[in-house]
């Protein structure tokens, strides 16, 4: 089959995307490590940290510490995360485009109930929630989760405070909710509208044999991992929202870190799927 090949090697695009993924993980690690230090006004905050010092804090708390750190080397770190996340969304778009290209290539050889192309609303919805996710992170970083000094240059004892936590909360909802929703059409196409490379080759070349069935198991595992990572992400998202609403902050903080790991797992699956498609198809 002319459309299918193996052993193409790693292309520059996936090397850069993998490097961006590593940089994003390292940046998250630096933010939560408290290497940023504390702002000069931290000891006079209107509200103390959610959990006692020495314990886990909300990610928003760590972002705020870095944004206003007394050490200027760390001030831009939260915005570095925004740029890296932007590339992560480009990675999701890259995977989405490849999935649709493979679907149309396969349907050029077969006809049936799977159809040839997706409804335009799926593409529109994907693009909208891609933008919502990025906008959500911008709001999360720009608008802090707690009171901050209205004038950062005023180092006097009497400080006027400003609260933008409501806007921050909406940013969190947009970020984690948007990232979940934009992956729904991706999983739909990958699991229901695209044949695995082994299944596709067997359908082109003749009856399915036992060796082909065994070879298709890794494809089934990858699809299961993709669905599983998205499902775990959704369950943690719901749990985090419930814990925040009932005011169980200690549980919410812990859940947020596990949710971050699930988020990174979903992003890794995007990278894995697009790389696998590249290995099999000329596009």
Each residue's pLDDT tens digit in the chain (283 positions)?
Answer: 444 444 444 578 889 999 999 999 999 999 988 888 888 888 777 777 766 555 678 899 899 989 988 888 888 999 999 999 999 999 999 999 888 888 777 776 655 545 566 778 888 999 999 999 999 999 999 999 888 888 777 666 667 888 888 999 999 999 999 999 999 999 988 888 776 544 444 444 555 444 444 446 777 788 888 899 999 999 999 999 999 999 888 889 999 999 999 999 999 999 988 888 777 665 4
Q: Which residues contact 178 (CB under 8 A, 6 or more apart)?
A: 129, 130, 132, 133, 136
Distance (Å, whole) CA 22 – CA 24: 5
Global pTM value:
0.84
Distance (Å, whole) CA 164 – CA 167: 6
Per-domain residue ranges for the chain? 82-148+161-280
Note whether 179 and 159 are within 8 A (CB): no
Note whether 118 and 189 are within 8 A (CB): yes
Nearest residue to 185 via CA among 92, 90, 278, 115: 92
Note whether 134 and 105 are within 8 A (CB): no
The full length of the chain comes to 283
Q: Which residues contact 78 (CB under 8 A, 6 or more apart)?
A: 31, 63, 66, 67, 141
Distance (Å, whole) CA 89 – CA 83: 10
Note whether 269 and 226 are within 8 A (CB): yes
DSSP for residue 4: B
Q: Count Cβ atoms below 10 Å from residue 237 Cβ, excluding itself.
A: 19
């Amino acid at each position: 089959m002319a459309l299918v090949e193996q052993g193409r090697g790693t292309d520059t695009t996936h090397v850069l995307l993998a490097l961006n993924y590593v940089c994003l993980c390292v940046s998250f690690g630096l933010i939560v490590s408290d290497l940023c230090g504390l702002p000069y006004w931290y000891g006079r905050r209107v509200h103390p940290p959610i959990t006692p010092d020495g314990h886990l804090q909300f990610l928003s708390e760590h972002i705020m510490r870095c944004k206003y750190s007394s050490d200027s080397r760390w001030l831009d770190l939260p915005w570095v995360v925004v740029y890296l996340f932007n590339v992560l969304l480009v990675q999701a778009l890259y995977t989405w485009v490849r999935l649709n290209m493979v679907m149309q290539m396969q349907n050029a050889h077969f006809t049936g109930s799977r159809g040839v192309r997706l409804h335009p609303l799926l593409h529109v919805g994907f693009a909208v929630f891609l933008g919502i996710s990025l906008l959500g992170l911008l709001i999360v970083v720009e608008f802090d989760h707690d009171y901050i000094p209205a004038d950062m240059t005023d180092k006097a004892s009497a400080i006027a405070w400003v609260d933008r936590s409501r806007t921050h909360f909406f940013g969190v909802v947009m970020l984690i909710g948007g990232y979940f929703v934009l992956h729904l059409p991706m999983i739909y196409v990958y699991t229901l509208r695209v044949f695995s490379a082994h299944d596709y080759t067997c359908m082109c070349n003749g009856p399915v044999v036992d060796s082909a069935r065994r070879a298709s198991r890794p494809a089934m595992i990858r699809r299961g991992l993709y669905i599983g990572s998205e499902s775990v992400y959704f369950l943690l998202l719901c749990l985090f929202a419930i814990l925040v609403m009932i005011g169980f902050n200690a549980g919410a903080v812990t859940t947020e870190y596990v949710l971050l790991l699930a988020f990174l797992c979903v992003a890794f699956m995007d990278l894995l799927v697009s790389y696998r498609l590249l290995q099999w198809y000329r596009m």
